[in-house]
Structure 1
Amino acid sequence: MTDVISDAGGPVAAAADPAPQPVGVGRRATDPASTARANRRWWDAEADAYAAEHGDFLGDADFVWCPERLREADAHLLGDVRGREVLEIGCGAAMCSRWLVGQGARPVASDLSSGMLRQARAASARTGVEVPLVQADARALPFPDASFDIVFTAFGAVPFVADSAAVMAEAARVLRAGGRFVFATTHPIRWSFPDDPGPDGLTATMPYWDRTPYVEFADDGTPTYVEHHRTLGDRVRELVAAGLRLVDLVEPVWPAGHTEPWGQWSPLRGAILPGTAIYVCERPG
């Protein structure tokens, strides 16, 4: 179900049922439908807690690409945005899109989670910066072909779907010729290391090529949260298959003076290993 939330605050699709409480964690196979259902429920249930924990770091109208605190104002990965029609997928509270409004862009922000879109509406009310919001699955975007000049996501959608090639294909489909698709996600090398910001997180324990998803699950085995891994080669093949051209791969360095950890990211690990990969792509034309 896809509903548009207008500037006046139109409808939002009803939230999914609350996610079962996880009792276990492991690597196990899961299908696209189970992944989508688990992650929508998780983000609906965790939207308020996520905003409380990370809201100050992300801001209400700022564009931070990653835990390394790389800002679009400094990186300019989207290129010239003034007057451009922009789609954000996996927008969360849509802080990036609100920042783009201030740069003269015309953004639309989409997310699968109604809980996160409620956070987006609340942030718009706080800032007075309205952005059209769309509830949609990034694998099936409700827009005509060649609708946007730029598509992007900062840690949204890509790691939370089983079939990320479909996200690449949809981004390419809705892009105009010469348009740019940029997405940030966890650096693939991190898959080999435990999710630990301390010294124990510096020892590789898992094969880089093991693509078995990370799954949190309930006592009946129902997935409650899922992340999927792709190698660098996988990502390049997905992009090429979608008809996109990779023009840059940015691996942000943990900056001096940045002491705020974020989950598995930390100054200790950031000094040794990349935590984020940002893929900058174009649709030839």
Structure 2
Amino acid sequence: MSSVRDYGYREVPDREGGAAARGWWDDNADEYLDDHGGFLAGELRWGPEGLTESEARLLGDVAGRDVLEIGAGAAQCSRWLAEQGAHVVATDVSGAMLREGRDRAPAGAGVPLVQADARALPFAAASFDVVFTSFGAIPFVPDAARVHAEAARVLRAGGRWVFSVTHPLRWAFPDDPTAAGLTATRSYFDRRPYVETDDTGRVAYAEYHRTVGDHVREIAGAGLRLADLVEPEWPDWNTGVWGGWGPERGRRLPGTAVFVTHKD
């Protein structure tokens, strides 16, 4: 695995930034799941705050419904939904994440796994009642409008597209879960991605910032209707730290935004 040579906020060619996610998640799947797999197991969580689908009910009644998860990682969310009676398919761009999900799944708890780019889903139009992702796909591509368009295409009329991302406000602050992360150091309107390059100069990781307005315009551009925007508060029970998320800062600033949309 190549080491990180440089990192920061800067423009990179869309082709390079958009292609980086697959390799990064392939290289880091095992370590990521070792660190966070316990927190993610056994429930659909919408973000590091710990808000669960059983609490929020953002997907509606999924029993008997056809559900697609994009950016599924190891498919923990999909497996939980299958236990609720949904007919679920999980997709991710990273083959390594999907393999880890298959290998780590409890016996008899598997769901269909498909390696696919969320910008070009290999499914027919109007195939699903619900499409969702928890922190998947959207942050890692420069052209998230294509993700929304694909979600809308494969949804049936009346279906839901629900996605969670880092709260856009958080991009103005350092990635620090302590009080040091409570002072804004960048412009909220600076849309340059966060980029890491490896020791060969290749873009190894890219994460893209969009304002709240950007997300809303992309939703509308896909012909979808925004029904709700959920900003989970940090709960008292959660004392864990996950990157820039933690209780000290989480009780003061939002860390996750969950957009609930409908296809009319």
Contact kept? 2:67, 2:130, Cα under 8 Å: yes
Cα drift, residue 221 of structure 1: 2.8
Give 1:82's aligned residue: 63
Letter of the structure 2 residue corresponding to residue 34 of structure 1: E
Give 2:11's aligned residue: 29
Distance (whole Å) between structure 1 residues aligned to residue 17 and residue 43 of structure 2 = 29
- Aligned mate of 1:224, from 204, 229, 234: 204
Determine whether 1:249 maps to 2:235: no
Contact kept? 2:177, 2:250, Cα under 8 Å: no
Give 1:64's aligned residue: 45
Contact kept? 1:68, 1:253, Cα under 8 Å: yes
RMSD over equivalenced CA pairs, Å: 1.0
Contact kept? 1:31, 1:162, Cα under 8 Å: no
Determine whether 1:123 maps to 2:111: no
Residue 249 of structure 1 aligns to a residue whose secondary structure is strand
Letter of the structure 2 residue corresponding to residue 68 of structure 1: E
Distance (whole Å) between structure 2 residues aligned to residue 161 and residue 178 of structure 1 = 27
Unmatched tracts of structure 1, length 5 or more: 1-17
Give 1:209's aligned residue: 189
Distance (whole Å) between structure 2 residues aligned to residue 32 and residue 157 of structure 1 = 15
Cα drift, residue 220 of structure 1: 4.0
Residue 4 of structure 2 aligns to a residue whose secondary structure is coil
Contact kept? 1:21, 1:224, Cα under 8 Å: no
Identity of aligned pairs, percent? Answer: 58
Residue 190 of structure 1 aligns to a residue whose secondary structure is helix
Contact kept? 2:65, 2:129, Cα under 8 Å: yes
Determine whether 1:266 maps to 2:262: no
Give 2:77's aligned residue: 96
Distance (whole Å) between structure 2 residues aligned to residue 220 and residue 52 of structure 1 = 27
Q: What TM-score comes out, normalization by structure 1 length?
A: 0.91
Q: What TM-score comes out, normalization by structure 2 length?
A: 0.98
Letter of the structure 2 residue corresponding to residue 271 of structure 1: R
Residue 45 of structure 1 aligns to a residue whose secondary structure is helix
Distance (whole Å) between structure 2 residues aligned to residue 183 and residue 230 of structure 1 = 14
Cα drift, residue 123 of structure 1: 2.6
Cα drift, residue 218 of structure 1: 2.0
Distance (whole Å) between structure 1 residues aligned to residue 174 and residue 209 of structure 2 = 14
- Aligned mate of 1:165, from 114, 126, 145: 145
Cα drift, residue 48 of structure 1: 0.2
Instruction: Tell which deviates more after alignment, 174-183 or 254-263.
Output: 254-263
Letter of the structure 2 residue corresponding to residue 181 of structure 1: W
